Structure 1
Amino acid sequence: MSEDTKPRLRYSSDGTMIASNDGLKNVISGMGTERDRRTYSQFAYGSVNDIAELEAAYSTNWIARQVIDAPVEDATREWRTFSIDEGADIRKAENALNLQGVTQEAFKWAGLYGGAGVLLITDQPLDKPLDHKKIKKGSLKRLLVLDRMLITGMDFNVSDPMAVNYLLPNYYVVNGGRLPIHHSHFVRAPGAKLPLRMRMINQGWDDSQLRRCMEDIKDAVSAKSGVASLIQEANVDIISKEGLSDILSSGDMDTAVASRYQMFGMMKSMFRLGLLDSSEEYARHPASFGGLGEILSTLMEWVSGAAEIPMTRLFGVQSKGMGDSGQGDLNNYYNAIRSKQESDYRQFLEAIDKVLIPSALGSMPDDCEFDWNPLSQPSDAELAQQQLAFAQSDDIRLQQGVVKRSQLMRKLSEQGVYAISEEDIKQAEADEKAERDGEDFIPLGGIGGNEPGAAEEAAQVSEADPA
């Protein structure tokens, strides 16, 4: 075995053996050996969160702001609905405490800084565990948003894995204050997920969602700025003069030469006329802009991929491809938003609801659950097509006898499609009962009915066939 093909082993700080040359190798071409430059490429951790840079990017660049704000606004724009009878009272309490705005603010700061939360200010002391059984009507006073830069964790729980705050602080302290706040009063909003070891190093907080996009955002912004600067110099004027280098090297004529060509530029700007000596030559070289649009488009795609937001939502541009409206990308994006609603937003809101709902109603109702409203509203054409499909489906079920006319009337009345009164529904039910009773009554062996002449027809049949 040659020296280049021998496996080189190295050890980490905890003594774990790490192989440094795993993968495909070719000693003839040098691929995978020390002569391959790719062998020395590796990912490494930099600064986990440069807070000053993140804040500057969010405050000054619209792309960075959209990366943080767009997913949060899409996830909370249509909000939620409670199916219980007290849903209107819960909605009123949400509006009074601005729960929708508080949720948006908490998740935006969590995405920017890597963590944030909401402090539940009630009539119970903050330094004691929050007792949900003692929550009565009007107990919740305020919802206060605090990001990770405004609050510090203390006394981390590293010994009780059964507790809800395992590897998280038992108490928090607001920066500048002294009162310890028990963790049960603080509902955390997560940021971008980190491995468990990195989260412990980061004092229990997550990573910023903007940090992973910073390199691509910088590339896109710098390329756009470079193109804008290049447009300002679309044409470059060049004047050639014999012996100019000797004149400038002498050091005595620098000011005279600069004044000479400054005057030439001023005359050309004011009068579109330039005066040159017979020994001077003037040329204009236009700058080339070919391919710049493709470069910017590629950089925008990289930013869109890093942010996990389609270009139609992040930049408002049309998708590529004939007949592609970008609806497929938006559907995939909405599916990802729905997943975050269930995994992150629901857990966050249910923790707040344990205090907000008893404070609004006086007690916690049974089976008090909410559903997320659709993320997008259909257009008029889509709504009309959907209603037509529903009407055709109801008509088929009515013809098959699966449902009754009164049942369809009650369904339409509850949906608010038509102003059908309860008297109309009861009249339809009475008609259906009368029709059913008439079908069940079959006199004289099934001949006749309530129609005129039915009795005479039955008598004639009886005389013809006594049996």
Structure 2
Amino acid sequence: MTTNIERAKQMRNDFMQGNGKGSEKDPLTRQTPSHRRVLSRQELKELYASNMIVQNIINIPAEDMTRNWFTLKMEDEDLKNAIMQKLRDLGAKEAFQDMRHFERLTGDGLISLGVTQSSPVELDKKIEYDKLKRLDYIHAFSGHKIEDMVTNKDVFSSAYGKVEHYKLPKTEGSDREKRVHESRLLHDQTRKLEDETKGQPLLEPLYDILTVMDTSLWSVGQILHDFTFKTYSSKDIEDMNQEQRRELGMLMDFMFRTEALAIIGEDESLTKQSTNVGGIKELLDYGWEMLSGATRMPKSVIKGQEAGTITGAQYDVMNYYSRIAAMQENEMKPQLEKLIRIVLWCEDEVGGRIDPESIDWEIQFNPLWEVDSKTDAEIRKIVAETDNIYIMNSVLMSDEVRDTRFGRYGLEETLAFSGDEAAQRRMAEEVYGKYKESRDEDG
């Protein structure tokens, strides 16, 4: 009969064996890198619910993408304010954060568009924009709510690979399949394998690394539990049977953990031992480096560093925010533009129906981060030294430097990063040029 100790040994024999990477006889040396782990809906739910590091990996990029939101650029201030107020009423910021959260967790994040139109709403038909009256609500949900997606498989079509219809589960009391036209949903999907309609959950390729990290946590816990222990030597031990040794061990373990005084015989000895932890830091760092590289998130961000603030040496964090800014531009911006176009087309929203193509408007995401005070001071010192060199060599005049650094548009305007530095520079140059012209006219 298998004892509890033997079962415990089997449970920790190979932490990767449950992923199908080895045989029972030789689990480690027969691992194959090609095996794919497919996580069920319940497994994804339990992995997310039971591990805070997993929650950080899923939640933090979604929060960073929407944390500072965006600014809508258009000439009509009243219209801009009306659109932004409508988005606040809809809870658009929270919905887009949830959509990205679901995309990372399940592979697909979606937002339903609840519209009212002058004609009957048919979900399987394309939205008729010239008949829209109101956008009543938006709801974020995961790909688990979708049974299937009908995509264009014609490689010679301009719409190749795009979703045409979504199949939803049958509603209670109905035996008919519900189909929804793609125009009635916003769909966020960034990881998809060819010939598969649904996206791949981020945790599937991370599963082995997360398992290693879970094992390292368990192992460190065991080391801490047994970091110091005592060794008791006595010649009487040899005459004891197994049951007597067990009882003595339990009694002495309790006494030596709770009492500061040990009473032993002349021929007995009691020594204190410590667990050797040499090299464990390198092993743990290796696990963190693998997790950081796989998630494309710095360790400090995964561990929950305060969002939006960095020091001068954190180039990895700067690169992370640069990547987030690119994701905003390439992945979230088209979805936001689609939502705003629908709001503009609605007859009863923001002052009447407006053709989005008839006006100039643009989404600009707000800066994601700022440097800390120490780094800010160091940057200012370097800039001051550079300016001094320019003045000494007659590249710039002192008045020009003073206007640039200490005028209305000073150094602090250059320390924020939005992902589009070229556009920021052009805007700053244009604004500063007009500001300087007005000063010249006044003076």
Q: How does 1:54-93 map to 2 (within 5 A)?
A: 54-84=44-74, 85=76, 86-93=79-86
The residue aligned with 1:127 is: 124
Q: Conserved in 2, the CA contact under 8 Å of 1:119 and 1:145?
A: yes
The residue aligned with 1:173 is: 168
Deviations 1:281-332 (A, max 9, x none): 43332212222223222221211111101123222589xxxxx854311221
Q: Conserved in 2, the CA contact under 8 Å of 1:154 and 1:173?
A: no
Which of 299, 303, 308 lines up with 2:296 in the alignment?
308
Q: Conserved in 1, the CA contact under 8 Å of 2:206 and 2:294?
A: yes
Q: Conserved in 1, the CA contact under 8 Å of 2:41 and 2:144?
A: no
Q: Give the number of aligned pairs.
A: 358
The residue aligned with 1:113 is: 106
The residue aligned with 2:96 is: 103
Amino acid at match of 1:358: W
Give me the TM-score of the superposition, normalised by structure 2.
0.68
Amino acid at match of 1:153: D
State the Cα distance separating 1:236 from its structure 2 match: 2.3
The residue aligned with 2:241 is: 248
State the Cα distance separating 1:92 from its structure 2 match: 0.7
State the Cα distance separating 1:341 from its structure 2 match: 1.6
CA-atom RMSD in angstroms: 4.0
Kindly name which structure, 1 or 2, has the bigger radius of gyration based on alpha carbons: 1
1:143 aligns with 2:138: yes
The residue aligned with 2:324 is: 337
Relative to 1, partners in 2 of residues 1:41 and 1:265: Cα closer, same or farther, differing over 3 Å? closer
Distance 1:385 1:99 in 2: 38
**Secondary structure of 1:336's aligned partner:** helix
Relative to 1, partners in 2 of residues 1:141 and 1:287: Cα closer, same or farther, differing over 3 Å? same
Single out whichever of 96-105 and 263-272 deviates more from structure 2: 263-272
Distance 1:399 1:261 in 2: 84
Give me the TM-score of the superposition, normalised by structure 1.
0.65
Which of 28, 34, 42 lines up with 1:44 in the alignment?
34
Q: Conserved in 2, the CA contact under 8 Å of 1:155 and 1:171?
A: yes
Distance 1:325 1:224 in 2: 31
The residue aligned with 1:189 is: 188
| Contiguous gaps of at least 5 residues in structure 2 | 1-28, 411-426, 429-434
Relative to 1, partners in 2 of residues 1:175 and 1:60: Cα closer, same or farther, differing over 3 Å? farther
Distance 2:30 2:282 in 1: 31
Which of 319, 325, 345 lines up with 1:358 in the alignment?
345
Q: Conserved in 2, the CA contact under 8 Å of 1:234 and 1:287?
A: yes
Q: Conserved in 1, the CA contact under 8 Å of 2:83 and 2:340?
A: no
| Contiguous gaps of at least 5 residues in structure 1 | 1-38, 319-323, 416-421, 433-467
**Secondary structure of 1:196's aligned partner:** coil
Single out whichever of 279-288 and 145-154 deviates more from structure 2: 279-288
State the Cα distance separating 1:401 from its structure 2 match: 12
Deviations 1:189-212 (A, max 9, x none): 114x23313xx2xxx111112322
Q: How does 1:272-421 map to 2 (within 5 A)?
A: 272-278=260-266, 280-315=268-303, 325-359=312-346, 360-361=349-350, 362-363=353-354, 364=356, 365-377=358-370, 382=376, 385=380
Which of 219, 224, 235 lines up with 1:231 in the alignment?
224
Distance 1:286 1:410 in 2: 63
Relative to 1, partners in 2 of residues 1:154 and 1:73: Cα closer, same or farther, differing over 3 Å? closer
Deviations 1:56-88 (A, max 9, x none): 222221211111112222222121111112222
Relative to 1, partners in 2 of residues 1:209 and 1:243: Cα closer, same or farther, differing over 3 Å? same
Relative to 1, partners in 2 of residues 1:401 and 1:41: Cα closer, same or farther, differing over 3 Å? same
